[in-house]
Amino acid sequence: MNTQTLAAQLASRHQPVKPISFGRICLEWASVTAISFAALVFYYGGFRADLSARLLEPFFTAEIALNFLLVVVAGLSATACAYPDRARTRMHQILLWIVFTGYSAIFLMAAFHRPDLAGPASGHEPHGLECLQCLLAFAIIPACWMSWRLRQLACVKPMQMGFTAILMAMATGGLGVRLLESGHLQDGLMLTHYLPILLLSGAGLLLGGKFFRW
């Protein structure tokens, strides 16, 4: 058998690789995040005791809604970096920065003008470093999953993928803390909540260029 005949036979047996859809990847990280989030809420003893009352306050409700949107939009943006047709569009980036800016503004306004009302937390009541540990506990599984899963894909924008993947995970941690923690925003929560989200997301931007490069 000559080389051309062998090559023709091998080519005829080759089955085209079916690409993984954008929706499937999004469903995977959304499921992993939701399951790990629910498990940790159960582990910490449930949501904050005053959650139903706090949700009646516009500032708090807007903060939680924008925090949730930040998780979703950052996850979509990170996944889009693995698909050339989606990575070329600026829609995901624009939407991400709109949500992030709104979340930052609401968080700062709530911290300096509308501080949280004091009240007992349900189950676990983290403060200081415990608050940071709680945030990281909620963030670690989504961060590991996003890093592992997205690294298997052909990343088009590695730095942006690193930033948005870590931002999605850290925003998940921030959401978990705010739904469990009943302390004041002014009592160090700015340093143990908002600042880690910014710093670790920035680290993801720097490390993403090496970690997601292929």
| Spans of all domains in the chain | 22-211
For tokens 């009302």, what's the residue?
Answer: 117
pLDDT recorded at residue 2: 52
What is the reported pLDDT for 88? 79
**How far, in Å, CA of 199 to CA of 183, rounded?**
22
Question: Is the per-residue pLDDT at 81 higher than 80?
Answer: yes
Most confident of 2-11, 75-84, 102-111, 176-185: 75-84
User: Nearest Cα to 168, choosing from 35, 65, 72, 102?
Assistant: 72
pLDDT of residue 74: 93
Distance of alpha carbon 165 from alpha carbon 75, whole angstroms: 6
- Judge whether 163 and 202 are in contact, CB under 8 Å: yes
pLDDT at 125 over 80: no
Residue 184: pLDDT above 70?
A: no
* The most confident of 9-13, 136-140, 151-155, by mean pLDDT: 136-140
- Do 174 and 200 touch, CB atoms closer than 8 A? no
Q: 188 — alpha (psi -120 to 50), left (phi > 0) or beta?
A: left
Q: What is the pLDDT of residue 47?
A: 92
Mean pLDDT of 174-186: 76
